[in-house]
Amino acid sequence: MTAFVNLEDSPMFHKQVRSLELNADELRDRCQKLYKGCRKYNETLEEAYSGDNIFADSLEAFGGGQDDPVSVSVGGDLKYFG
């Protein structure tokens, strides 16, 4: 702490400290907004992932499997033709 040996309690010093405090408060607010935005984005990604899985499961159920003739006739696995 020898860097602060000649520190004077002056109006200029108070002004500088207040400026640093305001900058720190603004930075804290911005970080909180970023955190909230990231959290919401992550929740949205989780919902989208769940929706994709549900859709894939419904497509699989609709298809009836690789050896289902109806599924093959509408574009299923072509190796079963012929």
Every domain of the chain and the residues it spans = 11-73
> pLDDT tens track of the chain, all 82 residues?
455 556 678 888 889 999 999 999 999 999 999 999 999 999 999 999 999 999 988 887 777 666 677 766 766 555 544 4
pTM assigned to the model = 0.57
Whether the Cβ atoms of residue 13 and residue 7 lie closer than 8 Å to each other: yes
